[in-house]
Amino acid sequence: MIVSINWFKYSSPASFYPLAGRMIPWFAVPAILLIIVGLYWGFFETPNVLSDQKQYYRIIFVHVPAAWMSMWLYVVIAGWGLIGLVFNTRLSFMMAAATAPTGTIFTFLALWTGAFWGKTSWGTWWDWDPRLTSELILLFLYIGYMALQAAIDDVRRADRASAVLAMVGLLMVPIIYYSVNCPDPNQCTALHQRSSVRSIESNIFWAMLTMTLAFWLYSFVVILKRVRNIILEREKYMEWVSELPEIKSQRSRDR
Amino acid sequence: MMQDMIASYGFYIGWSFGAAMVLMTGEWLMADVQRKSIIRRLQRMARLDGRGPAGR
């Protein structure tokens, strides 16, 4: 049986608002469970050393998922921005705006946890290494995206301008990746090690992947929560908003 | 084992995982607080609407 879904129906904030509300628990419960499982696995079921690194390597279970999410969410923002510009759908811009704070938090966390890991393994909190510097620029791009959106009063203009900024800033994502993974290692002088996911012990790898999945599901939860807030804020003069049960119930109580 | 880890690297691991959990929980709760505040504002608007244009 072919199930056809009218996707354009859900591009309307009025249709998406209740759907997002229904989806939140489906992501929230697995996110919490996976974070608990990932932390337990990472702390109690993995070896005490990773190559030449001692127990402090366990920062990997928050650092790497946060760094992956920071890049992925930026791609998502640019994608929503592109869809918004092409199809002129308000919801796409709202989704992009809702994603930005979560991306900012993950980028900050990648830098923060990287500093603590760097201090133990390199002996320094910070180095102007290509990977660290490009990740810092990504943080500034996130902040710039949110600042630009807040700086323009006309919401539609703010959405379009910040979508363009997000798409231009997308160039930063391959730069971050290739900052340590350039084809010829002799041409790259980076303190940050090259990606070693393929060679990592499978137990550590799966614990890290569990945390990544948990962070991903967590992102869905907070983004959906925030997009619902943005929808309410932007559509507050619409009839359907005043007809929502959570708002209507108060009005009928007052009568 | 765990005690060794805490004694040697508790500061670094604690600040890394602690920051992650605090920020993520904070973001989650902030979204809920923001929602409550928006709904309260919308309820107030709806109440005023019901009392006519002069807001009586």
Q: What is the pLDDT of residue A57?
A: 87
Q: Cα A221 vs. chain centroid, distance in angstroms? A: 11
Statement: residue A36 has pLDDT above 90: yes
Mean pLDDT across the stretch A134-154?
Answer: 96
All domains in chain A, ordered by first residue: 27-238 (1.20.120)
Q: Is A53 helix (H, G, I), strand (E, B) or coil?
A: strand
Higher pLDDT, A248 or A63: A63
pLDDT digits (tens, 9 = 90+) for A95-108: 999 999 999 999 99
- How many Å apart are CA A84 and CA A147, to the nearest integer? 19
Mean pLDDT across the stretch A196-219?
Answer: 90
Q: What is the pLDDT of residue A37?
A: 97
**Residue B19 to residue A109, Cβ atoms within 8 A:** yes
Neighbouring-strand partners of residue A53: A50
**Residue A116 to residue B16, Cβ atoms within 8 A:** yes
pLDDT digits (tens, 9 = 90+) for A12-29: 999 999 999 999 999 999
**Residue B31 to residue A225, Cβ atoms within 8 A:** yes
Q: Cα A110 vs. chain centroid, distance in angstroms? A: 11
Statement: residue B5 has pLDDT above 50: yes
Please say whether the beta carbons of B27 and A101 come within 8 A: yes
Query: Cα Rg for chain B, rounded, in angstroms?
Result: 23
Instruction: Give A189's pLDDT tier (boundaries 50, 70, 90).
Output: low
Please say whether the beta carbons of A81 and A162 come within 8 A: yes
Task: Tell whether the torsion through CA atoms of A97, A244, A26 and A112 is positive or negative.
Answer: positive
Mean pLDDT across the stretch A62-84?
Answer: 96
- How many Å apart are CA A19 and CA A30, to the nearest integer? 18
Mean pLDDT across the stretch A111-129?
Answer: 92
Helical segments of chain A, H only: 13-44, 60-87, 90-121, 130-151, 155-169, 172-178, 202-234, 239-242, 245-254
Q: Enter the DSSP assignment of A9.
A: G
**Residue A112 to residue B19, Cβ atoms within 8 A:** yes
**Residue B12 to residue A222, Cβ atoms within 8 A:** no
Q: Which of A120, A222, A226 sits opposite B12 (nearest CB)?
A: A120
Phi-psi region of A160 (alpha: psi -120 to 50; beta: other; left: phi over 0): alpha
B45 CA to chain A: closest CA distance, Å? 9
What is the chain B residue with the closest CA to A61?
B17
- Mean pLDDT computed over every residue of chain A: 90
Measured CB to CB, residues of chain B less than 8 Å from chain A are 1-2, 4-5, 8-9, 12-13, 15-17, 19-20, 23-24, 27-28, 31-32, 34-35, 38-39, 41-43, 45-47, 49-50
Mean pLDDT across the stretch B42-50?
Answer: 83
For residue A173, the one-letter residue type is V
- How many Å apart are CA A81 and CA A161, to the nearest integer? 9
Statement: residue B21 has pLDDT above 90: yes
**Residue A241 to residue B42, Cβ atoms within 8 A:** yes
Least confident of A53-67, A162-176, B2-16, B19-33: B2-16
| Predicted model pTM | 0.90
Least confident of A78-82, A122-126, A244-248, B51-55: B51-55
Residue A191 has φ and ψ, to the nearest 5°, of -75, -40
Sort out which chain A residues have CB atoms less than 8 A from B37's CB and list them.
none
Complex confidence, ipTM = 0.87
pLDDT digits (tens, 9 = 90+) for B22-39: 999 999 999 999 999 999
Neighbouring-strand partners of residue A50: A53
- How many Å apart are CA A19 and CA A172, to the nearest integer? 33
Quickly count: other Cβ atoms within 10 Å of residue A198's Cβ: 6
